[in-house]
Structure 1
């Protein structure tokens, strides 16, 4: 059984202790803004040069990466962890496939424009709601459309 609270507090503690600038995004962020969709993973964006800062702390929990991950929707530097049964995706520079225009576009993380939200007794930097809707509208997957509907 996954323990999302424990996993979030664990990874946030590591990121903060290593002075890594980060921002929570994806489905977890959508849930914080009101989406009721079941959580698959915790997505956290960091700068590409920050992966090395956390590797020693997370090494035992790595299930992928850090490496380039490419599928039909995503092209990004990715480190996937499993902690307390909860998957955590640490994401670097990212491109997404814009289904509306049929091309790859860069997904820039604006770390300076985070919304700080409380969850599980801690406060975390979260992507702005409008930015979630914008990139999920480009991806157009079923889960994205579900999140957009819940956030609109």
Structure 2
């Protein structure tokens, strides 16, 4: 299931030469986490966000909007492809909730910092392990703590 959804979003992005970074559970899986995937999370640069939304329009399950939920404060769109949620975040002005300090902090997404990993039959640009561990440690939700432990 996740493979066809990953193939769909990756081909949509690559056909348009849109840079992207895989983050979240899929990136954690690429670095050794074994937990079940709930969705596919990735970021694109702000200047490409609307073209991604338009290209994936037939599969939109949550319209592109700014949301503050579950430790995240960002603009994103959610697609549903063959039953799998694919969440594409706009990297511009994204923030995460620092659980320890009880404050919102900037999540700086650097598209030059990635590791290409062969996963789900694709060459995927994963957010660097150290960056992923950092933001998951800051969020400190149970799922993030589980991923950090597995990646270490």
* TM-score, length of structure 2 as denominator length: 0.94
User: Aligned partners of 1:108 and 1:62: how far apart in 2?
Assistant: 26
**1:137/1:144 contact within 8 Å kept:** yes
Counterpart selection for 1:76 from 74, 77, 87 = 74
- The 5-angstrom pairing of residues 58-97 of structure 1 reads 58-92=56-90, 93=92, 94-97=94-97
1:31 maps to which residue? 29
Q: Number of paired residues?
A: 150
**1:25/1:45 contact within 8 Å kept:** yes
1:43 maps to which residue? 41
Q: CA deviation at 1:57?
A: 2.4
**1:7/1:86 contact within 8 Å kept:** yes
**1:64/1:81 contact within 8 Å kept:** yes
- Secondary structure at the aligned position of 2:124 is classed as strand
Question: Runs of 5+ in structure 1 lacking a partner?
Answer: none
1:129 maps to which residue? 129
Q: Give the RMSD, CA atoms, in angstroms.
A: 1.1
| 1:86–1:127 CA distance, 2 compared to 1 (3 A) | same
User: Aligned partners of 2:136 and 2:33: how far apart in 1?
Assistant: 13
Q: CA deviation at 1:72?
A: 4.7
User: Aligned partners of 1:16 and 1:150: how far apart in 2?
Assistant: 30
User: Aligned partners of 1:150 and 1:57: how far apart in 2?
Assistant: 35
2:138 maps to which residue? 138
User: Aligned partners of 2:122 and 2:30: how far apart in 1?
Assistant: 13
Q: CA deviation at 1:122?
A: 2.0
4+ long deviations beyond 4 Å: none
Q: CA deviation at 1:110?
A: 1.2
* TM-score, length of structure 1 as denominator length: 0.94
**1:51/1:66 contact within 8 Å kept:** no
Is 1:8 aligned with 2:2?
no
User: Aligned partners of 2:35 and 2:120: how far apart in 1?
Assistant: 18
